[in-house]
């Protein structure tokens, strides 16, 4: 490699070289120079996070045809390639040294071999294009939660998305000066076709190198594969956190508003398309974040921050009735990026679940589209992709929490775990204690697959803490760290399991979409011991009278005892089957904490004792109030 300054000066003009020099970090300069030389861009733009630099990137996304202008001012549209609209789990690898290994659920690759491969793919990949070098802070800047990060990309769309989703970090890098501890991300969309989307999907690679804390992404544009500070950074942060004693979780952070102006903060983990964003966006509550949280113990208490400052949300099903706050932003002037939705002839956006009838025609990720269009296999192409997205600033939402950027974080009162479960869990259930919550709620999430990942839908998958896809440490160690985290805290947050997808014998959902508003209010009251509960073998469930009152107060809706019984009947065979499945899974996972098996044994015993008394399906009235 040539001298660092020589490489930088050959591609950076005076202004951009000066912006990099002001950071005064030789580790950073060496990193940037290495990929300038390898990727060989025509020129390099260094963003210092000023409005002028952010606007430059935004305009480049339009100029490069990575985004197009929509009807509403500030709204733009981006398309990903057909087949590049979800996380590529098969080609997303955590890189390990020879002899190292992780659990079979985590896709890994030999470090030296895969670094060689991705560097070969990246060689000259940016030829003729502009490289963008951008600086961000994961978590609020100048805080114990802060993780400085640098993104290199040749996609103005990716850089534009980062500018919406993350806090600018140029000043943070200047403050830290010659510090080597920053996350690094290298991305190239690769060769593009006539629609300006990634062409060589067979060479799509997403590699996370734990040793150098660097993530690589090539020949893809979809945000889950390319927005390095999002899910790629999670692998890096989970690995770092495991050594430093904090947690990086796939969690929302929200403020639930209780009596007399009280706000209680919850974190919550749900697999994609299982209600995480809609929970964080509940009307009447406030949002700190909808996707990724850092949690730390301070003075014997648990605090959390949103790693991001924006939202990269699934748009399917968003409508004016169920999602009024999001709907308003998506139909108001302001900065929003839509991806993989249908654009109508008048320049407006339409997606599955949008108000009104399905339009007859438009343009979507498959090209020119008409209602009833089929793909080469004869399968009908919907107007928008099921994993179509929107990207917006959280501060554009009217329910944004005032503590969004608080460097101290928010005090966590409760932790919620949920998945897509049609037959086992009740709609809301409080664990007996922190260990029971981590083991039987968080580490026991099973969820039916959705369109957020490439592959089959509707398959029940094991997904501890909704974080399996993003782990970079052994599962057993990850669970042990979560259990240990609660032991540091004098009074750990209460832990709840929720299930928005429970079905009756007729196959119909037993919950309506907005019932979750009531479950949140009940959980908020429980964190302050203001309502009693009924003790069942699987945890504490609400009393009917409390839910009846809350349904009336929150939704102005009558809640029948018949509905309560259907929803909160304990399904013993299904719960026992779940324990059997999970015990088998964990018995094959190395270093699973022994406490997990004890928790399963204890729950199984409680269920069998209840079954002996009351049968397979036990209505709530058979259990005692506590």
Quote the CA–CA distance of 174 and 22 in Å, as a whole number: 7
Mean of the pLDDT values across residues 308-334?
94
Residue ranges of alpha helices (H) inside 245-354 are 276-280, 324-329
Does the pLDDT of residue 429 top 80, yes or no?
yes
- Binned at pLDDT 50, 70 and 90, residue 323 comes out as confident
Nearest to 225 by CA among 410, 389, 22: 389
Biggest CA–CA distance in the chain, Å, is 80
Residue 131 token pair: 């490289």
| Residue 303 falls inside a structural domain | yes
Do 352 and 440 lie in a common domain? no
Mean of the pLDDT values across residues 65-93?
93
| Residue 101 falls inside a structural domain | yes
pLDDT one-digit tens code per residue, 549-563 = 999 999 999 999 999
pLDDT one-digit tens code per residue, 474-526 = 999 999 999 999 999 999 999 999 999 999 989 999 999 889 999 999 999 99
The last residue of one of the domains, among 205, 222, 244, is 244
| Residue 74 falls inside a structural domain | no
Mean of the pLDDT values across residues 248-265?
97
Q: Hey, how many other C-beta atoms are within 10 angstroms of the C-beta on 98?
A: 8
Domain that holds residue 280: 248-309+402-622
Q: Hey, how many other C-beta atoms are within 10 angstroms of the C-beta on 133?
A: 22
Does the pLDDT of residue 453 top 60, yes or no?
no
Quote the CA–CA distance of 111 and 93 in Å, as a whole number: 10
| Residue 72 falls inside a structural domain | no
pTM of the model: 0.94
| Residue 183 falls inside a structural domain | yes
pLDDT at res. 460 = 80
Adjacent-strand bridge partners of 187: 153, 217
Do 302 and 316 lie in a common domain? no
| Site of tokens 């039916």 | 448
pLDDT at res. 455 = 55
| Site of tokens 């850092």 | 294
Residue 508 CB burial class (10 angstroms; 0-12, 13-18, ≥19):
exposed
Do 182 and 236 lie in a common domain? yes
What is the three-class DSSP state of 436?
A: helix
| Site of tokens 């790629």 | 232
Does the pLDDT of residue 607 top 90, yes or no?
yes
| Site of tokens 């070098």 | 133
Instruction: Considering only residues 460 and 163, tell me which one the structure prediction assigns the higher pLDDT.
Output: 163
The CATH number of whichever domain residue 40 belongs to comes to: 3.40.449.10
pLDDT at res. 439 = 98
Mean of the pLDDT values across residues 409-416?
98
Do 13 and 89 lie in a common domain? yes
| Residue 502 falls inside a structural domain | yes
Quote the CA–CA distance of 462 and 439 in Å, as a whole number: 13
pLDDT at res. 1 = 59
Q: How far is CA 167 from the centre of its chain?
A: 17
| Residue 76 falls inside a structural domain | no
Quote the CA–CA distance of 62 and 99 in Å, as a whole number: 47
Cβ atoms of 366 and 381 within 8 Å: the answer is: yes
Number of domains, the chain: 3
Residue 421 token pair: 């479960």
Show the beta-strand stretches assigned E in 467-586. 494-498, 533-536, 539-542, 570-571
Do 133 and 55 lie in a common domain? yes
Quote the CA–CA distance of 516 and 529 in Å, as a whole number: 20
Do 426 and 292 lie in a common domain? yes
Backbone angles phi, psi at 578, to 5 degrees: -60, -45
Adjacent-strand bridge partners of 108: 94
Mean of the pLDDT values across residues 447-453?
62
pLDDT at res. 449 = 66
The last residue of one of the domains, among 189, 213, 244, is 244
List active site positions. Answer: 274
CA atoms within 13 A on the CB side of 592: 20
Does the pLDDT of residue 452 top 70, yes or no?
no
Do 157 and 287 lie in a common domain? no
- Binned at pLDDT 50, 70 and 90, residue 450 comes out as low
The CATH number of whichever domain residue 362 belongs to comes to: 2.170.8.10
Quote the CA–CA distance of 369 and 362 in Å, as a whole number: 5
The CATH number of whichever domain residue 442 belongs to comes to: 3.90.228.20
Does the pLDDT of residue 164 top 70, yes or no?
yes
Mean of the pLDDT values across residues 415-441?
97
| Site of tokens 């979780």 | 249
Q: Hey, how many other C-beta atoms are within 10 angstroms of the C-beta on 91?
A: 21
Cβ atoms of 78 and 339 within 8 Å: the answer is: yes
pLDDT at res. 451 = 52
Do 440 and 523 lie in a common domain? yes
The last residue of one of the domains, among 344, 368, 396, is 396
Nearest to 267 by CA among 281, 249, 283, 285: 249
Quote the CA–CA distance of 343 and 359 in Å, as a whole number: 10
pLDDT at res. 461 = 87
SS (H, E, C) 287-314: EEECCCEEEEEECCEEEEEECCCEEEEE
Do 237 and 364 lie in a common domain? no
Quote the CA–CA distance of 556 and 533 in Å, as a whole number: 22
Quote the CA–CA distance of 399 and 283 in Å, as a whole number: 8
pLDDT at res. 458 = 59
Nearest to 330 by CA among 289, 391, 408, 372: 391
**Alpha-carbon distances, residue 544 vs 229, 427, 619, 621 (angstroms):** 44, 13, 12, 9
Backbone angles phi, psi at 317, to 5 degrees: 85, -10
Where does residue 173 fall: left (phi above 0), alpha (psi -120 to 50 degrees), or beta otherwise?
A: alpha
Cβ atoms of 541 and 568 within 8 Å: the answer is: yes
Does the pLDDT of residue 34 top 70, yes or no?
yes
Do 418 and 369 lie in a common domain? no
Do 112 and 175 lie in a common domain? yes
Q: How far is CA 427 from the centre of its chain?
A: 22
Sequential DSSP letters for 570-622 = EEHHHHHHHHHHHHHHHHTSTT--HHHHHHHHHHHHHHHHHHHHH-SEE-GGG
Q: What is the mean pLDDT of the chain?
A: 95
pLDDT at res. 87 = 86
pLDDT at res. 278 = 86
| Residue 77 falls inside a structural domain | no
pLDDT at res. 186 = 98
Do 296 and 410 lie in a common domain? yes
């Amino acid at each position: 490699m040539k001298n660092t300054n020589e490489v930088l000066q050959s591609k950076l003009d005076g202004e951009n070289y000066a912006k990099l020099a002001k950071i005064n970090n030789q580790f950073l300069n060496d990193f940037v120079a290495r990929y300038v030389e390898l990727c060989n861009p025509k020129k390099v733009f260094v963003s210092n996070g000023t409005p002028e630099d952010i606007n430059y990137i935004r305009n480049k996304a339009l100029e490069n045809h990575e985004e197009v202008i929509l009807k509403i001012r500030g709204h733009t549209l981006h398309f990903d390639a057909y087949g590049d609209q979800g996380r590529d789990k098969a080609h997303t690898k955590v890189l390990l040294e020879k002899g190292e290994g992780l659990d079979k659920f985590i896709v890994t690759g030999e470090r030296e071999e895969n670094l060689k491969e991705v560097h070969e793919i990246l060689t000259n990949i940016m030829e003729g294009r502009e490289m963008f070098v951008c600086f961000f802070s994961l978590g609020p800047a100048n805080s114990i939660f802060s993780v400085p990060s640098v993104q290199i990309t040749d996609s103005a769309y990716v850089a534009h998305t980062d500018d919406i989703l993350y806090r600018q970090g140029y000043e943070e890098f200047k403050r830290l000066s010659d510090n080597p501890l920053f996350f690094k991300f290298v991305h190239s969309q690769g060769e593009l076709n006539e629609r300006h989307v990634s062409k060589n999907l067979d060479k799509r690679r997403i590699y996370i190198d734990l040793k150098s804390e660097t993530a690589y992404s090539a020949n893809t544009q979809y945000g889950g594969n390319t927005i390095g500070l999002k899910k790629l950074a999670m692998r890096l942060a989970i690995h770092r956190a495991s050594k430093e004693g904090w947690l990086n979780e796939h969690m929302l952070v929200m403020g639930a508003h209780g009596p007399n102006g009280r706000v209680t903060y919850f974190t919550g983990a749900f697999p994609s398309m299982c209600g995480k964003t809609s929970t964080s966006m509940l009307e009447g509550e406030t949002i700190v974040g909808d996707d990724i949280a850092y949690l730390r113990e301070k003075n014997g208490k648990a605090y959390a921050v949103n790693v991001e400052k924006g939202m990269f949300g699934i748009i399917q099903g968003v409508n004016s009735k169920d999602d009024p706050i999001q709907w308003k932003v998506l139909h108001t002037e302001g900065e929003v990026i839509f991806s993989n939705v249908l654009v109508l002839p008048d320049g407006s956006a339409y997606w599955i679940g949008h108000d009104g009838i399905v339009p007859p025609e438009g343009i979507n990720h498959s090209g020119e589209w008409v209602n009833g269009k089929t793909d080469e296999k004869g399968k009908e192409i919907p107007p928008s992709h099921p994993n179509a997205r929107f990207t917006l600033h959280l501060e554009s939402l009217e329910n944004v929490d005032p503590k969004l950027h608080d460097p101290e974080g928010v005090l966590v009162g409760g932790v919620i775990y949920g998945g897509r479960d049609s037959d086992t869990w009740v709609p809301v259930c409080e664990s007996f204690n922190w260990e029971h919550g981590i083991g039987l709620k968080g580490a026991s999430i099973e969820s039916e697959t959705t369109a957020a990942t490439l592959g089959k839908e509707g398959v029940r998958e094991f997904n501890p803490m909704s974080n399996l896809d993003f782990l970079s440490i052994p599962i057993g160690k990850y669970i042990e760290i979560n259990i240990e985290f609660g032991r540091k805290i004098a009074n750990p947050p209460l832990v709840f399991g929720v299930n928005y997808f429970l079905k009756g014998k007729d196959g119909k959902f037993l919950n309506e979409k907005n019932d979750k508003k009531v479950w949140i209010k009940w959980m908020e009251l429980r964190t302050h011991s203001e309502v009693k509960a009924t003790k069942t073998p699987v945890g504490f469930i609400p009393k009917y009278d409390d839910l009846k009152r809350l349904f009336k107060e929150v939704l102005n809706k009558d809640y029948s005892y018949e509905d309560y019984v259907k929803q909160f009947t304990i399904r013993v065979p299904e719960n026992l089957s779940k324990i059997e499945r999970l015990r088998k899974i964990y018995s094959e996972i190395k270093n699973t904490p022994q406490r997990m098996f004890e928790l399963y044994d204890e729950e199984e015993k409680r269920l069998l004792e209840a079954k002996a008394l009351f049968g397979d399906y036990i209505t709530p009235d058979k259990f005692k109030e506590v």
